Chains A and B, each alone.
Chain A
């Protein structure tokens, strides 16, 4: 019976691991729909292993649709029909089955077929089994290809007939059938799967991989050459490419070993700028996708002479490698696609050289980054170091002793509230840690619209603020002296604040201080990094330095790095003071100009006040000023 019904062997398979499912072929290799229909009806044992590997209920329509799409893409791009394989799911009855290796069939007449004759071979085996035994119909429950062997699972009662097939003729050749010895393969799987384990075999695999990586890594050019892996004699000696199961685990394991070679993420990031995966017969990125996790900051990537057919075959790297400048896909069918250049330029905004042709100039790349409003050093207008001293004390106190901090700077009229931006843009490689410790306190007015909730999330007075702060996770803000670039502090005077003494009808003056930075937090034993924006209004009071906090408003978001506020015109040496007329340079800051002239935003002409500070508080400040800070 011939039919065009899907050749897809399993239900929700993905990647290189395929289930042998409902379809069967007859002697000619055509589909046998009877078995398919019967199993589709849901014989439980088969249904579980064939259609739904997890044994859970069927996924929702949308997921199914997506799986189908992924599957269709996989099918379209995958050359390999060899990848039917066993995966022991929770509900399989694998331990009640017996495994046999079938060899010799790769030289058969059927091997010229797209699946190298696997379907035909299985049909042949089932027919032979049914000839050799009586009773219920014999079936090959599961199968997979490992190198030159087809590994099949059968019920224990088929052991005898199975061994009788040994030496029989399939499609013109003698095949061997023998009980499968899993020990070697499983051991290797285990080693590779957990390459940082402690068993001697693991250490051996790890040391071999380390040696291979050392041979293929060129520190002076920061190149990791992973081209032609299939012909690497050391790798072949390890048996890496003999079996689909190890092949798919090999690359992730290699990346893991690579990671272990560096003491920290920074050194790892800086070790490699270029990677070659040329000449690896890759039809898609599935087996090498972890490269994007291990070396996300890659600048040059050689994928030449592989078998990428279209954008879908690389879709997993659509949002990866945000710093990629050079990409070589020559010798891939995708390169001839008319959408190729546009797609790659769109995917990789810093891409300059594609298939050895310049597609963007460095100036064009730089122009993308430019914002319409040039990024200047912080505006820090704080003549008496009031804000400076406050900020230094504040974050040390917030990290170290919140109660003491509250008692110093906060009083019964101080206000605190916090809001969480759960969807903020983030740094390319940042994970978003759970917001659980904060979200119930978040006063994001976009989401908290009812008055009682808005009131409940307003914290007035140091007692209430203290109660809230004691429930928030401990934090460690970055050290402003050690890492001035990681934070940005701006400050300017603000008039019209409430006068606690009630003496001034015009109110009192104070400072608006705005801080952007990051902190670390220990959450469930794991260190998380978050970014924050925090604005304070400080006015005259009884705290250290004669100030108090009137308002303290905190916004939290996923870690977003600090590049956004590093000045764009860094080429201009900040150390050379520009002659600034005294009248403009200082005092006007306190008194608002009477008739302000329109000052357009001009690159390279920063506000005079901003000349005083170029980074966080510690940066570019004359040392004597610190003597006041005690």
Chain B
């Protein structure tokens, strides 16, 4: 990867975070069958209120089969680049630096918002804080629906 300017790093990382925040919470609310597609194949850690969940498929299973309707709203979020050359493991081994683009960064995202469980609008709004680590999608697949970044780790906590 040749030199990348700071403004490109900020632009790409903040757009990736925005994409996550806009699509992920919408999926938790009304498109739960798509939840697994947000996750890296082997996430390093997924936590909900201190409960470890194994992977994206397990998260989707919980939301589809156990969770009542939930309305999430992200009220504030921010992100930072963690590693601008994340060592992605592909089928042919670690991606060489020469093949890397600006989209090979890993990103830390923090979200502050509220969630209301159940259909009843009188249910209280609970405050939550959620931290994600996004890593480049290792799959070679191309297409419109391909996500450029996947969730490597996630920690959701109710905080109010």
Interface residues of A (CB under 8 A from B): 346, 349, 371-379, 381, 415, 417-427, 442-447, 451, 454-455, 458, 460, 488, 490, 492-498, 505-507, 512, 514, 516, 531, 533, 535, 537, 550-551, 553, 555, 557, 560-561, 564-565, 567, 592-593, 596-601, 606-607, 609-610
Min CB distance, A254 to chain B, in Å? 32
Closest to A560 in B: B160
> Which residue of B74, B80, B84, B160 contacts A551 across the interface (Cβ within 8 Å)?
B80
A560 near B76 with CB under 8 A, answer: no
Partner among B21, B50, B62, B126 whose Cβ is within 8 Å of the Cβ of A610: B50
B157 touching A555, Cβ below 8 Å: no
Q: Which of B7, B54, B68 sits near A455, CB closer than 8 Å?
A: B7
Known contacts A425-B125, A609-B52, A600 near B80 by CB under 8 Å = no
Indicate if the CB atoms of A607 and B127 lie closer than 8 Å: no
Beyond the given A498-B83, A607-B50, could you list 10 further A-B residue pairs with CB under 8 A, ordered by the A residue number? Answer: A349-B124, A376-B50, A421-B75, A442-B76, A488-B157, A496-B83, A512-B45, A512-B133, A537-B133, A560-B159
The distance from the CB of B122 to the nearest CB of chain A, in whole angstroms, is 6
In the complex, what's the smallest C-beta–C-beta distance from B81 to chain A, in angstroms? 7
In the complex the two chains form, is A498's CB within 8 Å of B84's CB? yes
In the complex, B27 has a CB within 8 A of chain A: no
Chain B positions near chain A (C-beta within 8 angstroms): 6-7, 10-11, 14, 17-18, 21, 42-45, 47-55, 57-58, 61-62, 66-68, 70, 74-87, 94, 106, 108, 110, 112-114, 117, 122, 124-127, 129, 131, 133, 135, 152-153, 155-160
CB distance from B38 to the nearest CB of A (A): 16
Q: In the complex, which of the residues B43, B48, B82, B157 contacts A601, with contact meaning CB atoms closer than 8 Å?
A: B48
Q: Which 9 A-B pairs have the closest CB atoms?
A: A376-B50, A560-B160, A596-B54, A421-B76, A607-B52, A533-B129, A421-B112, A598-B58, A425-B127
Evaluate contact between A423 and B75: CB separation under 8 angstroms. yes
Task: Assess A494 versus B153: contact at CB under 8 Å? Given A419-B77, A420-B76.
Answer: yes
Q: Which residues of B contact A421 (CB under 8 A)?
A: 75-76, 112-113
B83 surroundings in chain A (CB, below 8 A) = 496-498, 507
CA of A372 to CA of B7, assembled, Å: 41
Residues of B within 8 A of A493 (CB): 44-45
Q: Closest approach, in angstroms, between the C-beta of A562 and any C-beta of chain B? A: 8
Give the CA-CA distance A494 to B131 in the complex, in Å.
13
Name B126's contact: one of A371, A419, A505, A531 (CB within 8 Å).
Answer: A371
Give every chain A residue within 8 A of B45 (Cβ-Cβ): 379, 381, 492-494, 512
Residues of A within 8 A of B153 (CB): 492, 494, 512
Q: Which of A346, A376, A516, A564 has the most CB of B within 10 A?
A: A564
State whether A561 touches B131 (Cβ < 8 A).
Answer: no
In the complex, what residues of A have CB within 8 A of residue B85's CB?
498
In the assembled complex, the CB of B50 is this many whole angstroms from the nearest CB of chain A, namely 3
CA distance A607 to B85 in the complex (A): 32
Count contacts between A and B, CB distance < 8 Å.
230
Q: Among B42, B51, B76, B129, point to the contact of A606 (Cβ < 8 A).
A: B51
Q: Is the CB of B127 within 8 A of A451?
A: no
Chain B min CB distance to A602 (Å): 8
Whole-angstrom distance between the Cβ of A402 and the nearest chain B Cβ: 19
B66 touches A531 (CB 8 A): no
Evaluate whether A446 and B74 lie within 8 angstroms (CB atoms) in the complex, with A372-B68, A507-B87, A564-B160 already known.
yes
Contact A505 B94 (CB under 8 A): yes
Rounded to whole Å, the gap between the CB of B156 and the closest CB of chain A is: 8
Task: Report B-chain residues with C-beta under 8 Å of the C-beta of A565.
Answer: 49, 157-159
CB within 8 A of B158: which of A375, A460, A593?
A375
Task: Report the separation of the CA atoms of residues A235 and B42 in the bound assembly, to the nearest whole angstrom.
Answer: 73
CA distance A557 to B157 in the complex (A): 15
For the complex, give the distance between the alpha carbons of A553 and B58 in Å.
Answer: 28
Partner of B80, one of A417, A533, A597: A417
Q: For residue B126, which residues in chain A have a CB less than 8 angstroms away from its CB?
A: 371, 425, 564
Q: Which residues of B contact A535 (CB under 8 A)?
A: 108, 110, 131
A454 touches B58 (CB 8 A): no
**Cross-chain contact A599 with B112 (CB below 8 angstroms):** no
Residues in B neighbouring A451, C-beta threshold 8 A: 7, 10-11, 14
Q: Which residues of B contact A460 (CB under 8 A)?
A: 6
CB distance from A608 to the nearest CB of B (A): 8
Contact A444 B77 (CB under 8 A): yes
Q: Which A residues lie within 8 Å of B133 (CB)?
A: 494, 512, 537
Q: Is the CB of A533 within 8 A of B159?
A: yes
Q: Which of A423, A442, A597: most chain B CB closer than 10 A?
A: A423
Give CA–CA (A493, B152) in the complex, Å: 11
B123 to chain A, nearest CB (A): 8
Interchain nearest-CB distance for A341 vs B (Å) = 15
Chain B residues contacting A346 (CB-CB under 8 Å) are 122
Can you list 9 contacts pairing A with B, beta carbon distance less than 8 Å?
A372-B117, A425-B124, A444-B77, A454-B11, A492-B45, A494-B152, A506-B94, A514-B155, A607-B47
Check if A445 sits within 8 Å of B79, measured CB to CB. Answer: yes
- Specify which chain A residues have a CB less than 8 angstroms from the CB of B124 in the assembled complex: 349, 425
Residues of B within 8 A of A598 (CB): 54-55, 57-58, 61
B21 surroundings in chain A (CB, below 8 A): 445-446
User: In the complex, are the beta carbons of B50 and A379 less than 8 A apart?
Assistant: yes
Contacts of B7 in A (CB 8 A): 451, 455
Q: Would you call A564 and B58 a contact (CB within 8 A)?
A: no
B110 contact set on A, CB distance < 8 A? 419, 533, 535, 553, 555
Q: Which residues of B contact A417 (CB under 8 A)?
A: 78, 80
CB neighbours of A375 from chain B (8 A)? 49-50, 158
- What CA separation (Å) do A209 and B14 show in the bound complex? 60
Task: For the complex, give the distance between the alpha carbons of A11 and B87 in Å.
Answer: 72
Residues of B contacting A427 with CB < 8 Å?
A: 160
Q: Using A492-B153, A496-B86, A533-B129 as known contacts, say yes or no to A425 and B114 having CB atoms under 8 A apart.
A: yes
Residues of the B chain whose Cβ atoms lie less than 8 Å from the Cβ of A596: 42, 54-55, 58
Cβ-defined contact, A426 with B52, below 8 A: no
A50 to B50, CA, bound (A): 62
Which chain B residue lies CB-closest to A605? B51
Instruction: Report the minimal beta-carbon distance from A450 to chain B, rounded to whole angstroms.
Output: 10
Of the residues B76, B80, B113, B155, contact of A458 by C-beta under 8 Å: B80
Q: Are B66 and A601 in contact (CB under 8 A)?
A: yes
A599 near B53: Cβ-Cβ < 8 Å: yes
Chain A neighbourhood of B42, CB < 8 A? 592, 596
Q: Is the CB of A601 within 8 A of B62?
A: yes
Cβ contact within 8 Å between A376 and B127: no
B94:A564 contact, CB within 8 angstroms: no
In whole Å, how far is A345's beta carbon from the nearest beta carbon of chain B? 10
A599: nearest residue on chain B (CB-CB)? B54
Q: Is the CB of B158 within 8 A of A564?
A: yes
Which residue, of B50, B68, B75, has the highest number of chain A Cβ atoms within 10 A? Answer: B50
Question: A residues within 8 A CB of B74?
Answer: 446
User: Roughly how many angstroms separate A432 CA and B74 CA in the complex, as a whole number?
Assistant: 19
How distant is the Cα of A446 from the Cα of B25 in the complex, in angstroms? 14
Nearest chain A CB to B82 CB, angstrom units? 6
Contact A444-B78, Cβ < 8 Å, known A533-B159, A555-B112: yes
Which residues of the other chain, A, contact B135 by a CB distance below 8 angstroms? 496
Q: Which residues of B contact A497 (CB under 8 A)?
A: 82-83
